[in-house]
Structure 1
């Protein structure tokens, strides 16, 4: 009787040992596989070489650096216009336009395109200063706007443009881009002014 009990206990102990051994082997294999994946994983880093520092997006507002870069890009798309690149620039601007402003912005772009085609003119903008207000979702850019008829420059002027933005679901949308006067500008002449801190 005692031998039978001892045999039963031995079988139970062996079964438990085998289960623990299998569990340990599974854990060991999992650790090895995880280590292999970590060692061979390729990291993807998105680089923006034109930014002066890291750009960040929070649920409340874009960073000043990101708004500065986007303002510069939008100004380039709006103001560096040539009869050969009108449709390309229009398509890229409309990707940034908020749905509620899409039709109005598209109509303004088409009107500008017709004028440039009719006069066979082109424009080039040289930015010099950018003001951003991430909290108020407003930015301004100053620079020189040159107008050309063929290869000849026929007009140059200092110009200021403002951009209004909408921010939601971690995405920045363009609502409007328009010329303003120095009296209407919110910025002084500093290259980058930030009114208020971005909420953390």
Structure 2
């Protein structure tokens, strides 16, 4: 009787050992597969070199912070140009433009390119302040617009530019921009 009891116990231990071995092989294979997948998978890391906090984009609308960052970059892009980079400048501006406004804006940009081609006139813009309206998707930027001929700054004027945006899906696109004409102050009653 002792012999059959020991035999039964031995068989149970063997079954447990075999099941444990199979489970270890399956888990080892799963770990190897996961390591292979993680080693070959593309990774994305969000870099934040110039922003104060993490930035999220939502289909619910544009955040004030995101509109401010995009406006800052758009203002520098659209208002800084030189004769040697006119084609690149125009192509870069058109990349942020909404398809429905592309024809109108491209015509305006082509006019500027044709006027400046072959000249030695450059311009650059220094931002001093911004007003952001995420509800109406409008932003305005005030600063100094400097015009350079050759190596000499010939004008340095305070200007305000307005940018109008369209938000569709998760994409913010430019639909219009231009200089805001200053309001002329006159006497009351005139």
The answer to which of 17-26 and 157-166 deviates more is 17-26
Normalising to structure 1: TM-score of the pair?
0.72
Q: For structure 1, which segment, 131-140 or 34-43, has the greater mean C-alpha deviation from structure 2 after superposition?
A: 34-43
**Residue matched to 2:147:** 147
Provide the residue aligned with 1:197 in structure 2. Answer: none
SS in 1 for 2:100: coil
Alpha-carbon offset, residue 118 of structure 1: 5.9
SS of equivalent to 1:34: helix
Q: CA RMSD, aligned part only?
A: 3.4
Equivalent residue for 1:172? 172
Query: 1:164·1:176 contact (CA, 8 Å) conserved in 2?
Result: yes
**1:47 is matched with which residue?**
47
Gaps of 5+ in 2: 1-13, 184-190
The higher relative CO (CA closer than 8 Å, separation ≥ 6) is in: 1
- Larger radius of gyration, structure 1 or 2? 2
- Once the two structures are superposed, the pairs formed by residues 3-42 of structure 1 within 5 Å of their partners are 22=22, 25-27=25-27, 29-31=29-31, 33-34=33-34
What are the within-5 Å matches in structure 2 for residues 2-151 of structure 1?
A: 22=22, 25-27=25-27, 29-31=29-31, 33-34=33-34, 43-117=43-117, 119-151=119-151
Q: In 2, are the aligned partners of 1:81 and 1:123 still within 8 Å (CA)?
A: yes
- In the alignment, is the contact (CA less than 8 A) between 1:54 and 1:65 conserved in 2? no
Asked whether the equivalents of residues 56 and 62 of structure 1 are also in contact (C-alpha less than 8 Å), the reply is no
- The question of whether the paired residues in 1 share the 8 Å contact of 2:83 and 2:119 is answered with no
| Gap regions ≥5 residues in structure 1 | 1-13, 184-200
Alpha-carbon deviations, 1:133-187, whole Å to 9, x = none?
222211111110011111111111101111111111211111011111355xxxx
Aligned pair count?
175
Distance in 2, Cα, partners of 1:66 & 1:107: 28
163-172 or 174-183, larger mean C-alpha shift: 174-183
**Whole-angstrom CA distance in 2 between matches of 1:129 and 1:45:** 31
Moved more, 60-69 or 135-144: 60-69
- The 3-state SS of whatever aligns with 2:29 is helix
Q: Kindly state the Cα deviation for residue 35 of structure 1 after the two structures are TM-superposed.
A: 6.4
Shift in alpha-carbon separation, 1:47–1:123, aligned structure 2, 3 A: same
